[in-house]
Structure 1
């Protein structure tokens, strides 16, 4: 309100100065023709229009930047904000804002209207912030595991059935972990007002979830190593290796034969 009041006052001073400049620079004679008066008013209209338009645009952009800051902060806490544009033209609410401004800046003894005294949200304490950060980190870890599964699918080769089984098991584990994290986050949101009492419970669950994530990572690593080992032991792999060896020998023989017919440098 203070910032908006300052900008509004400065705009009004600018408009007043436009009229004063006209008086000082043009109203130097006692009589004027209709064309002269029209010319002066047209010039004044252009200047005032430009000043007011510039101020309105600046006010709009300033409000956009302010809302952007609020929305960015809300996104960090996974909040879903909703706006009601109809309230911006609610005459009753606008009058309440005017009454609040009047009481705030014109009379220090007058108390604001009861309708304007709204309850404030209690800030998150340090423990709550730390727990939410841990929950977010757990979700990020889940995303990394999903990416690892996709990379494992790319190298499945002839062992498609084996990999599919591994992926199914891993997906089930990840789904369970995701449900645990979602449940943990829901419990955190519900018990935020009493974080001190439930903090140990949430931390224990987070530790268990972290252990489960590490276990799934180890299972994925083991599965990939077993896949590579089994594939190297298959008859298809040995046959391919033998074929490649024979092809290399044939290429060497062909190069020796061709060298006999190539002219010397």
Structure 2
């Protein structure tokens, strides 16, 4: 193995060192560009996250408002339904009362008509009785006799005038 001679690296000359320095400088420049780009992307990501948070908050607020509006609309509908039901109930009661009142008035009218007929009948009977009693009085009989005599006298006078 003594025959094998290990090749040794030849010392670098100025050209290789310069190449390495250029490569290092180039890599550092690229590293700075990447750092700048990373900062820009981080800033954009932070801004996007902030915007996302704002949008999520806005969405939550909007959903709450819509929920409140929906609740308010449901409450309004319920109130209107209750008012309509109350008005319907009141109308039915008024209609029922009106019907009952009409029935009462019709019955009252019939009763009043019957009472009127009774009173008229009683009045007629009373007039007849009064007439009968008056005819039975002496003054009536005397007047009747006087009228009968006068009628006879008028007949006699007419007979005399006609001859």
SS of the equivalent of 1:145 reads helix
Deviation, structure 1 residue 195: 0.8
Deviation, structure 1 residue 230: 1.9
Q: In the aligned structure 2, how far is the partner of 1:126 from the partner of 1:249? A: 190
Could you tell me whether the CA contact under 8 Å between 1:232 and 1:238 is conserved in 2?
A: yes
Determine if the alignment matches structure 1 residue 174 to structure 2 residue 44: no
Q: In the aligned structure 2, how far is the partner of 1:126 from the partner of 1:194? A: 122
SS of the equivalent of 2:68 reads coil
TM-score (norm 2): 0.33
Q: Deviations over 1:100-143 (max 9, x none)?
A: xxxxxxxxxxxxx9999999999999999999999999999999
CA change 1:257–1:216 in 2 (3 A) is: closer
CA change 1:194–1:158 in 2 (3 A) is: closer
Deviation, structure 1 residue 223: 1.8
Deviation, structure 1 residue 233: 1.8
Aligned to 2:4: 116
Q: Deviations over 1:196-246 (max 9, x none)?
A: 243333332222222211111112211222222222222112111211222
Q: In the aligned structure 2, how far is the partner of 1:245 from the partner of 1:178? A: 90
CA change 1:210–1:200 in 2 (3 A) is: same
Q: Deviations over 1:58-97 (max 9, x none)?
A: xxxxxxxxxxxxxxxxxxxxxxxxxxxxxxxxxxxxxxxx
Q: In the aligned structure 1, how far is the partner of 2:52 from the partner of 2:58? A: 10
TM-score (norm 1): 0.22
Give the structure with higher Rg (CA): 2
Aligned to 1:229: 132
Relative contact order higher in (CA < 8 Å, ≥ 6 apart): 1
Deviation, structure 1 residue 190: 13
CA change 1:203–1:257 in 2 (3 A) is: closer
Gaps of 5+ in 1: 1-112, 160-167, 261-265
Deviation, structure 1 residue 155: 91
SS of the equivalent of 1:114 reads coil
Deviation, structure 1 residue 248: 3.2
CA change 1:259–1:220 in 2 (3 A) is: closer
Kindly tell me the number of residue pairs found equivalent between the two proteins: 140
Q: In the aligned structure 1, how far is the partner of 2:5 from the partner of 2:140? A: 77
